[in-house]
Structure 1
Amino acid sequence: MEYEGADPGTVRPGGRTARVRAAVLRAAGDAMAEGGFAHLDLADIARRAEVGKTTVYRRWGSVTGLVADLLTDMAEQSLPRTETGSLLDDLKANARLVQRTLTDPRQGALFKAVIAAATCDARTAQALHRFYETRVEEWAPCVQQAVARGELPEDTDPHEVIRAVSAPLYYRFLTTDGHLDEATADRSAQAAVAAARAGVYTRRA
């Protein structure tokens, strides 16, 4: 989620518990990217991670519990926002990060699997919502700073602007076979900025 961050399990510091969690989450992410949510199996993930099945069952309890923890880990490790002093450049950086994430073979497949799982599993859906809430909250200050600089109306809702940047990219990713390139990402950012400047995302609107 550079899926809007580093690969799961690669940043967390030492300790056996942390190493086990990192290995299991990496294995879970690989398994989801390869076969989707429906084929996840805790015993297979334990084998991939080279840890005991008992450890995995005791700590996570279920596939949905493991996926929820994977999403938590992805949110915790996501890359910080870019601050350039220009709203358009900030949001282009955001859009390009989303674009790179979704077009990465492993990460794109992982996100498709997680989104599919969230449509039929409430716990996964809650975890996915928390993931995106974390990402939107991380990037919202770029919009708040633009308001302070006078680039946008004072009552602009920063969270709605950030959502408007990535929403077209996810729609294209999930509904077409079209190539998702940097030019597409830049257009998404430009459209969000133009709409924000026009007052579309003010709270009164």
Structure 2
Amino acid sequence: MNASQNPPAPDETAPAPGSRRPGGRTARTRAAVRDAVLTGLTEHGYPALTVEYVAEHSGVHKTTLYRRWGSVEGMLADALALAGEDRWEAPDTGSLGGDLRALAREVVDSFADPARAAAPTAFVAAAFQSREAADSLRAFYEERFRRCESVVDRAVARGEAPAGTDAGAVVRAVSAPLFLRLFVTREPVDTALADQAARTVLAAVRAGAFGREEERADTAAGPAV
């Protein structure tokens, strides 16, 4: 999920990001299993998700499911892997402040619609109950954050951010207060809060708060004698 993009919901009228389906029987089978997994998570939660449920709702025989995915956890992992195969790129508004604001607002937009938010919320819940689900979700977001690092790289090149700014830390910091409210304190989020998060991170970047650890240590130590 760039820093803001979440695992997509089951297909409705148009393919969601990550749901592009190349031709071929294998691709169609994989997509059908993915949709059944997401539907099961959304409607019943991880504890009720079974191979039997996926087989019934995907039209794929249990033997095939066990042979290819091995378990429900394997299907969860593949559903997230498929979601991460889209072509989403980080915003490029021409300024670091604009890019950070766009990223933060995507988080809010993604969770403003309960139907759209149901699947990613279910994935997060599953990650608290399954080590495999947690590993898969972590890998998904690591890829999303990696794509977002270009926002900071461009800012450094433009002179908007200090050289050596930790891009990964910056893009995580933009989403962090929003995800805290969404998944921990269960508070509402809105555009104003997204903009506040972006402004806070931008100020911290300019102040050098996101310098890499070794560079901060060198600065604290002072000049060599």
Map of 1:3 onto structure 2: 6
Q: What amino acid is aligned across from residue 63 of structure 1 in structure 2?
A: V
Query: Deviation at 1:8?
Result: 6.5
Scaled by the length of structure 2, the TM-score of the pair is 0.83
Query: Deviation at 1:4?
Result: 6.8
CA contact (8 A) 1:9 1:22 kept: no
Matched, 1:44 2:47: no
Query: Deviation at 1:9?
Result: 6.2
Map of 2:97 onto structure 1: 88
Map of 1:62 onto structure 2: 71
Larger Rg: 2
CA distance in 2, matches of 1:4, 1:64: 16
CA distance in 2, matches of 1:9, 1:75: 6
Deviations 1:45-76 (A, max 9, x none): 12111222222222111011111111111222
Q: What amino acid is aligned across from residue 90 of structure 2 in structure 1?
A: R
CA contact (8 A) 2:18 2:85 kept: no
Structure 1 spans left out of the alignment, 5+ residues:
none
> For residues 28 and 106 of structure 1, do their structure 2 counterparts lie closer, same or farther at Cα, with a shift above 3 Å needed?
farther
Query: Deviation at 1:182?
Result: 1.8
Structure 2 spans left out of the alignment, 5+ residues:
9-14, 217-225
CA distance in 2, matches of 1:128, 1:183: 28
CA distance in 1, matches of 2:174, 2:195: 9
> For residues 104 and 46 of structure 1, do their structure 2 counterparts lie closer, same or farther at Cα, with a shift above 3 Å needed?
farther
CA distance in 1, matches of 2:88, 2:114: 19
% identity of equivalent residues: 44
Matched, 1:28 2:37: yes
Paired residues for 1:151-170 under 5 Å: 151-170=160-179
CA distance in 2, matches of 1:9, 1:157: 27
**SS at 1:84's partner residue?**
coil
Q: What amino acid is aligned across from residue 137 of structure 1 in structure 2?
A: R
Moved over 6 A (4+): none
Q: What amino acid is aligned across from residue 3 of structure 1 in structure 2?
A: N
Scaled by the length of structure 1, the TM-score of the pair is 0.91
CA contact (8 A) 1:3 1:78 kept: no
Report the RMSD for the aligned CA atoms in angstroms.
Answer: 1.9
CA contact (8 A) 1:23 1:49 kept: yes
CA distance in 1, matches of 2:44, 2:53: 12
Q: Tell me the number of residue pairs that the alignment of Structure 1 and Structure 2 aligns.
A: 205
CA distance in 1, matches of 2:209, 2:18: 39
> For residues 141 and 99 of structure 1, do their structure 2 counterparts lie closer, same or farther at Cα, with a shift above 3 Å needed?
same
Q: What amino acid is aligned across from residue 53 of structure 2 in structure 1?
A: D
